[in-house]
Homo-oligomer: A and B are copies of this chain.
């Protein structure tokens, strides 16, 4: 995962995943790395950025909504989502958004 994703000219999609972790690793770190590796292999994946302090934020970028839907339905990812809800996350929020404009240096 590169630090700042090299995304194409908008429009494209961003999935903003914000979470608060439970205590202890409980297999989280390994699965989190695997999910990035797996996401990178999905059709329509453009990149991801991630940081955690009190709150964790992972933003992944996608070409279109169908790619996001397919990733959400990926079997290995579904298993991870289930464990996430049960064990790793105290609370989380997923926001699916369409990037309309971007700029930077």
* Chain A contact patch, size range: 35 or more
List chain B residues, Cβ under 8 A from A95.
7, 10, 14, 99, 101-102
Q: How far is the CA of A24 from the CA of B100 in the complex (A)?
A: 33
Task: From B10, B52, B100, B105, give the contact of A51 (CB < 8 A).
Answer: B52
Complex interface bits, A57-96 against B, C-beta within 8 A gives 1, otherwise 0: 1010000000000000000000000000100010111111
A57 to B49, Cβ gap below 8 A? yes
Copies of this protein in the complex: 2
Residues of chain B contacted by A31 (CB below 8 angstroms):
none
Closest 9 interchain pairs by CB? Answer: A93-B104, A97-B97, A51-B51, A95-B102, A97-B99, A51-B53, A3-B55, A96-B101, A57-B57
